[in-house]
Structure 1
């Protein structure tokens, strides 16, 4: 199947060792993150953690066996990114990645609302993935030039994996939009459902202004992401959804209403057995 001419490479096999990048990057020689850098790492880590949790719900439920494997691999990649980012965020106040993942409530999370959207049907998940992966690819591509060496190193690894995530979503968008009348209807509906949460991804915040040269200014990513989405929509003969943007607020500590339920499932084992190790 041919799609838009995007710079995509074949996804390497998921290597469990690669998901230990956090431990390699954040060894004893790494200086603790400043409060602002830690907050920024928390934003990105929370995005990846919640997206991973959502995608794992497809295991044994995907429309075909190959998609069970593909979505599980993407979820594991996102979990690896979350581990790296949350571990770095925790160096500011001596908290572990587990502390940040399992022992904060929804008011303390900083994920953008897009990542909290329900899986819905398969087309809805692909619509969310198309936006999320296009955004993350542009973000990590830019973050490789960060003046913070740890963030730059995390981004350099993450961008290679997110490039596959983006290609996977692009190919499924084309397949669903160009398939049956029902698959096209569902793809259009999925895009309309997630589109209100796109603008928040590109909204500049005081934190990113303070971290000039370290953080990526969100608004600077919009052009690259729009270029990708426009190419996909043109190939799939889809229109951009005409829906009003959501107010969002995840970066400012206003959680999406469904986040509490997502965290209840994510955190239940750690909270039922505090201090357990296996």
Structure 2
């Protein structure tokens, strides 16, 4: 039985990841930033017992440490960290260069980098130090994005934050290997979460599905399966990997 901290687990990919670990017999700390009701719903959906809910603004370094401290206190430790929480592309975070003023450009860049990159950076530090101080092994899995490679012209801060997260994960894979801590990343393409339901049902849905030669989008459960594997002992030799999970919609060379 492992103790697993999943950030941004009030819905979507984070909820699916939390459910998959719970189904495997692990105890999960369900983190949320603002959606307390969604996090409570996730907790109720988890198999088994002993799961907890923790909250905190991951853009605040002090709150990050408090999230890890609360998880350690409630679960008795942390063995696996899944860095899933992110400020995602939306109408409110669109920042195409030709469309926004400089002040808005700066605000969105800071918002995305503070959570998507620095939040994960600080969580990784706190959990890694917890493991090292315990003399324990563990796993860290980052949820990156296809956009880190394909480009995000309307959301460049999002693409940059995910590219940096991939690179950070690879650096940590090397740094933490001597301590028996693995670090890997998943880079999903378009995933059919609740947040994307309207887009998939609307005029753009067919074009989005056509991005993949399979003619569909990914599911949160497919991402969760990849995360569960990368956090497993069997995947230790995959430490440092960035796993493309996009249905052949974008192929790196």
TM-score (norm 1): 0.33
Say which structure is richer in strand.
Answer: 2
Say which structure is richer in helix.
Answer: 1
Q: Which has the higher contact order (CA 8 A, sep 6+)?
A: 1
